Amino acid sequence: MTLLIAYKLDDSIVFSADTKESFIGEDGTVHLASVNKRKIFQIYSNVFMAVSGLASNHSIDLIRSVLLHKRRSSISEIINCCREVLYNHRQIFQRYNNDDTRGATKAIICGKDPESNELFIYSINEQFQTTSGIQAVIGHQEDRAREIYRTKFVQDEIPYLEQAVDAATSTIEEMSNQSEFIGTQSITYIIKAESITQSYYNGTRTPHCDRFLDKNIIGQCNTRQ
């Protein structure tokens, strides 16, 4: 299970995900797989994606391999590729698992438009419909998480970007206290035109440059102090 939160500011996007990986067995028992699962991945130049639900890693691997061979892709092509891969993975899973409907597949795709250079956030729901906006919250108990995030993200004396990050990480932490499916730790990406920053949160935030990012594609990677 997963909780994903994305918010678009004037000059940046805050994209957060918890790091707990678990699954439900055939008997309905919850099994813990990892507490340090990386869920946000770069799928194209300055475009990032995270999936909540079945076959998340396999879906992202296929999307990345498809887009890797295209020298230029529009945002509509990228979104359509993501939708098609997620839909087909879901169909295959249900076909070979007696139409098992456990765990709806949803996703958030965000970053910088390859053509216009404008920041964007798209979400894909369980019916594989896409929505764009300045905010997206998906995953386990997402309605409750959306309410919590709304109460925490109120601009005051704290810098706007700083509060967006704190609101996301604290929302994930609070939700982890209410559900065994969500981890207390989270990873946040701050996506800007000139840099990508990643920070971990596990009670104390330790900002550092993500070694998985391709600096030749996204530009300079700077840590947030």
Structure confidence by residue, pLDDT tens digits, 124-152: 999 999 999 999 998 888 999 999 998 88
Indicate the pTM of the whole model. 0.81
- Residue 68: the pLDDT is 84
Percent of the chain with pLDDT over 70: 74
One CATH from 3.60.20.10, 3.40.30.10, 3.30.450.40, 3.10.20.340 for 3-218: 3.60.20.10
Q: b/e for 144-183, b at 16 or more Cβ within 10 A?
A: bbeebbeebbeeeeeeebebbbbbbbbbbbbbbeebebbb
For the record, the structure tokens of 161 come out as: 């970007």
Residue pLDDT, tens place only, 185-216: 778 888 886 777 776 665 444 444 343 333 33
Q: What is the domain partition of the chain in residue ranges?
A: 3-218
